[in-house]
Amino acid sequence: MTTSTTPPQSFSRSDIDPYSLDNLLDRSRVQREVRETAPIVYLNEYGVYATGRYDTIREVFADWPHYQVGAGVGLANFHTEKPWRPPATPTETDPPEHDAPRRVLTEVLGMRALRRLREQWTEEAEEVVDRLLAAGEDIDAMADLASAFPLKVFPDAVGLPAENRNNLLAYGDLVFNAFGPQNEHFHSGAARLTELSQWVTTLCQRESLSPDGFGAKIWEASDRGELTADQAPLVVRSLLSAGIDTTVHGIAAILHAFATNPDEWQRLRSEPQLARRAFDEAVRWASPLQFVFHTTSKRVELEGVELDQHSKVMLLIGAGNRDPRRWDDGDEFTLTRDPSGHLGFGMGLHQCVGQHVARLEAEALLTVLIDKVSHIELAGTPQRGVNNTLQTWKTLPIRLTT
Amino acid sequence: MRTTLGGGAETMSPNGFGQAAALRVEAREQVAENIISLTLADPSGNRLPPWTPGSHIDLILPNGMARQYSLCGNRWDTYHYRIAVLREPNGRGGSEWIHANVDEGDILGYGGPRNHFPMVPAEQYVFIAGGIGITPLISMIEQAVRTGRSWRLLFGGRSRQSMAFLEELERYTEHVHIAPQDEVGLLDLDDWIPGLDPGTKVYCCGPTGLLDVVESACRKCPPYTLHTERFEAPAHESSQDRSFILKLQRSGIELEVEPGTSTLDALSGAGIGIISSCRQGTCGTCEVPVVDGIPDHRDSVLDEVDRQAGDCMIACVSRAHTPQLTLDL
């Protein structure tokens, strides 16, 4: 842990542990305590600063020269600790190294590529939903829908082989656990670390990727010299690390939102054009990515607090996305709200480059469900999953009525 | 700071600007004979969208002309853009207008930044500039220095007096070859192009004649060695912050988008809530489908093919070239 951040006594401190099991199962206590104590809070347990205020989080995101990602977007500070894998590209690179990988990904995941996928994904969604409805009303929305659909369409779009796709979830779980401390949650997945890392490294090679997918397009960019040959597999890896679990849990979040807000489902059915808004509202409300870290590049003042060079700042996205200073009734999921400007996809220079892909996946699925499902309700008590960074469901029993 | 559906007047962007994008001229400096530089900032003091070396912005002049200028300032200064403008008496009038009329304190519309001349990773760089073509290269040089890549610059111009940024380049004497035509004649590329080490990228910007010569000199180099930027008049060079009519095909609504109001806010005012995020034309969240009319694209996200297709636009910053625009909403 970093020791360079020793604040003066006058400072707001907290003993709360955002990574304790209780707080991972229910994030509300951490969100509230960090957000309401002060704009900036020093977390004694980990020796890092934290903020849960909407405006402060935005300021850190926007001020990319002062708050960098190159020292890791997790708790580990790469200025003093060696990363467990080569840093993610472009997620954990700052300008100028950030430029080329970001540009290539932006292009590969651009509007035209997505327009081509829209129809195809709606058909795929229809197949998945029809199959489910034929099998019966009660499903585990986590496994049968939220995982099943993205795990089919996204790896296809990347151009991955059909085998072992469930490994992608295990890998993603591991990656996002590793952004937290090396606690039991990290260790529970770490047994497969070497195996899964090797598997993913192999997948990122040109030979593993079908010729027409996002992955191949990234390699083609490196043929044209737009990326180095070393960068290409890391950029492909970023698709696999950041493009699966987050979407899976985003889709689970919206299914949970409708199962627990039946009026909103009826409203969406009568106003299907709200599908995009619904997904963004779910991402705001549930914030699948709960925490992300930036690191100061030099001594800098934030909210009246002097932060030393190379201080880690933990951004509690889930807290900012419900900050009452920004959102009326932020704890409510409602289609009345305009969730524009939520922090669920980050903001600014490093804002999620795949956000439009996630929206398209969710929109395809919602469009089909709107057509075929009149009621969504809980069919049992959902069980939270445990992950250091992501807010997840382990099981989400719901009943779909046609 | 709260956004409510349908509350057009109350709708405020999280970063505080609800109007169509504009820049304020903070400083005007003469940087060479016939070249001025303009330092530009957001009129409300907000940060500007980030950019990368090789990026340009469209400046939208009050007379309706839209002109592209490379950014040549410090990208780590997130509050300012800097451009350099050569007065071209035989040009199409944009630079003449700027030289004659633009003063500190003026507000100009803008679009972008966009980058059609991106710097790709390389082991070393050869930069070749002709005259005002130095502008995109100046920030590339900065980047090469920062990343510790070796680089050389060949910079030609009519005379020293007509060449911008010579002072900035002074500290790099051993990397820079200044070649004013009145002293040494036309640029001699023989020492620069043949026998380039593999892994070298050549970036060239300047008059068409120079680009043609460099292109033919690079013909024997490995593919993708040479990167050039040719400024060509865009298909729709006029662009204004005038009002236009927005027709919403599916909801049957018609509304007027006033100058100074963004398309996004006009839609929101009419009860059509479009999800947005950056409000600076950089993230693409508020893309809307266009079915008729020609969008005046001012975003940083759509690529050239999408822009030409004209079937979508980014509502937070873009406007219309035609008096009417029909959206599939």
Bond preceding residue B198 cis, omega within 30 of 0: no
Percent of chain A whose predicted confidence (pLDDT) is above 90 = 93
For residue A1, pLDDT beyond 50: no
CB contact under 8 A, A103 and B3: no
Q: Which residues of B touch A276 (CB under 8 A)?
A: 275
Using CB atoms, pick whichever of A107, A112, A356 lies closest to residue B284. A356
Q: Is A46 helix (H, G, I), strand (E, B) or coil?
A: coil
User: Is A310 an interface residue toward B (CB < 8 Å)?
Assistant: no
- Mean pLDDT over B96-106 rounds to 97
- Mean pLDDT over A216-223 rounds to 97
Q: Which residues of A touch B283 (CB under 8 A)?
A: 351, 355
Q: Which of the four pLDDT bands, split at 50, 70 and 90, describes residue A5?
A: low
- Mean pLDDT over B17-27 rounds to 80
Quick one: pLDDT at residue B286? 96
Q: What distance in Å separates the CA atoms of residue B55 and residue B119, rounded to the nearest whole number?
A: 10
pTM reported for the whole predicted model: 0.94
Using CB atoms, pick whichever of B3, B143, B303 lies closest to residue A340. B3
Q: What distance in Å separates the CA atoms of residue A168 and residue A187, rounded to the nearest whole number?
A: 18
Tell me which H or E stretch contains A302.
strand A300-302
Q: Which of the four pLDDT bands, split at 50, 70 and 90, describes residue A39?
A: very high
Q: Which residues pair with B27 in a beta bridge?
A: B39
| Burial of B9 from C-beta contacts in 10 A (0-12 / 13-18 / 19+) | exposed
Q: What distance in Å separates the CA atoms of residue A266 and residue B227, rounded to the nearest whole number?
A: 55
Q: What distance in Å separates the CA atoms of residue B58 and residue B78, rounded to the nearest whole number?
A: 18
* Nearest residue in A to B6, CA atom: A338
- Mean pLDDT over A292-315 rounds to 97
Percent of chain B whose predicted confidence (pLDDT) is above 90 = 81
For residue B17, pLDDT beyond 70: no
Taking only the tens place, the pLDDT of each residue in B163-217 is 999 999 999 999 999 999 999 998 889 889 988 998 999 999 999 999 999 999 9
Please report the beta strands in chain B, taking only residues with DSSP state E, as ranges in sequence order: 22-32, 35-41, 55-60, 66-70, 80-86, 107-115, 124-130, 150-157, 176-180, 200-205, 226-229, 244-248, 253-257, 287-292, 295-296, 312-314, 319-320, 324-327
Q: Which residues of A touch B289 (CB under 8 A)?
A: none
Q: What distance in Å separates the CA atoms of residue A252 and residue A329, rounded to the nearest whole number?
A: 22
Quick one: pLDDT at residue B90? 86
For residue B5, pLDDT beyond 50: no
By DSSP bridging, strand B22-32 and strand B35-41 are antiparallel
Percent of chain A whose predicted confidence (pLDDT) is above 70 = 98
User: What is the number of other CB atoms lying within 10 angstroms of the CB of residue A205?
Assistant: 13
Quick one: pLDDT at residue B288? 96
Q: Which residues of A touch B196 (CB under 8 A)?
A: none
Q: Which of the four pLDDT bands, split at 50, 70 and 90, describes residue B8?
A: very low
**Which of A59, A99, A335, A350 to mutate: most B Cβ within 10 Å?**
A99
Contact B314, B287 (CB under 8 A): yes
Contact B244, B323 (CB under 8 A): yes
Q: Which residues pair with B247 in a beta bridge?
A: B254, B326
Q: Which of the four pLDDT bands, split at 50, 70 and 90, describes residue A220?
A: very high
Taking only the tens place, the pLDDT of each residue in A360-387 is 999 999 999 999 999 999 999 999 999 9
Residue B151's contacts (CB-CB under 8 Å, 6 or more residues apart) are: B124, B125, B126, B127, B141, B144, B145, B175
Pick the closest to residue B244 from B230, B256, B227 (CA basis).
Answer: B256
For residue B21, pLDDT beyond 80: yes
**Which of B75, B283, B286, B288 to mutate: most A Cβ within 10 Å?**
B283
Q: Which of the four pLDDT bands, split at 50, 70 and 90, describes residue A172?
A: very high
A55 vs B273, higher pLDDT: A55
Q: Which residues of B touch A96 (CB under 8 A)?
A: 52-53, 119, 143, 146-147
* Nearest residue in A to B288, CA atom: A111
* Nearest residue in B to A95, CA atom: B52
Amino acid at A48: V
Quick one: pLDDT at residue B10? 33
Q: How far apart are the first and last CA of chain A?
A: 53
CB contact under 8 A, B3 and A225: no
CA distance B19 to chain A (A): 16
Taking only the tens place, the pLDDT of each residue in B308-327 is 999 999 999 999 999 999 99
Quick one: pLDDT at residue B91? 85
Distances (CA, A) of B229 to B91, B116, B204, B325: 18, 8, 7, 32
User: Is A329 an interface residue toward B (CB < 8 Å)?
Assistant: no
Q: What distance in Å separates the CA atoms of residue A73 and residue A69, rounded to the nearest whole number?
A: 6
Q: Which of the four pLDDT bands, split at 50, 70 and 90, describes residue B16?
A: very low
* Nearest residue in B to A335, CA atom: B5
* Nearest residue in A to B120, CA atom: A226
| Window A:208-247, CB contacts with B under 8 Å | 224-228, 231
Tell me which H or E stretch contains A13.
strand A13-14
**Which of B11, B279, B285, B329 to mutate: most A Cβ within 10 Å?**
B285
Quick one: pLDDT at residue A85? 85
**Which of B277, B288, B306, B307 to mutate: most A Cβ within 10 Å?**
B277
Q: What distance in Å separates the CA atoms of residue B135 and residue B144, rounded to the nearest whole number?
A: 15
Taking only the tens place, the pLDDT of each residue in A45-63 is 999 999 999 999 999 999 9
